[in-house]
Amino acid sequence: MKSPLIPAGVALVVCLFSGCTTVNETGRSQLMLVSPAQEAQMGLAAFAQIKKEEKISKDPELNARIKRIGKRIAASVGREVPNAKWEFVVFDSPTVNAFALPGGKVGVYTGLIKLAASDDEIAIVMGHEIAHVTSRHGAERTSQNYAIAGVGLLAAIGMEVKDVDPAKRNMALAAYGVGSQVGLALPYSRLHETEADSVGLRFAAGAGYDPRAGATFWKKMAAKGGAKPPEFLSTHPSDATRIANLEQLAPKYMDLYKQSRARYE
């Protein structure tokens, strides 16, 4: 009897080789199986849910500050971001975090604002998060998950056709799951973080914010401590790797920063 997995596998093969895009600022090719419209729809839905669950700050000064920084960074992107309707919201929480979602939705927590020593440091973080959106990292990760699942399905089909023992089949698929995470998903996640650091630093500098603030802010984050997994098992580069990279990148954007700062003085 024909396996029901076979037609699904054929469909996935066609799908996996049909989508490829390029990150504008770096030229890196990326597998893309999610349309900009789909991506924006997911971002808008997620942001609406977050606004329901999190306390939104009513501090007019904080809100004005974050909107001012955010608008300058969005302008420094220098190109249209598909389906972006920029919105910058301050969430009243001690969480040291910020995020950006497809559709141009950006959230900054008061905990991060308090940790940052200046608008420059806040801008570095917001630039990093906005770079994730402009580089379509979320959609790329979703596409990679589709690809990983597709290859797993094809492997399952192959073993089923060859009548491999079910126990051995399950062991092989489990090993593939672990290997694909450590060997593909996690390295790409770290690549996305490093790419967002670089592109985000450029956005911040282009908005008139000092790129040297990237390293100073992450040194503060590193000083907060806490147990962290080894870099090869983490979604993010180690603090030392990230700080060294930011220190190396900052001089590259100093001229852009000085030229852009003059426009806002």
* Distance between CA atoms of residues 221 and 82, nearest Å: 32
Catalytic residue numbers?
129
The total number of residues shown for the chain amounts to: 265
Question: Tokens for 101?
Answer: 């979602």
Dihedral sign (CA 235, 240, 243, 249):
negative
Exposed/middle/buried for 178, CB within 10 Å: 0-12, 13-18, 19+?
A: exposed
Question: For residue 24, how many other CB atoms are within 10 A of its CB?
Answer: 15
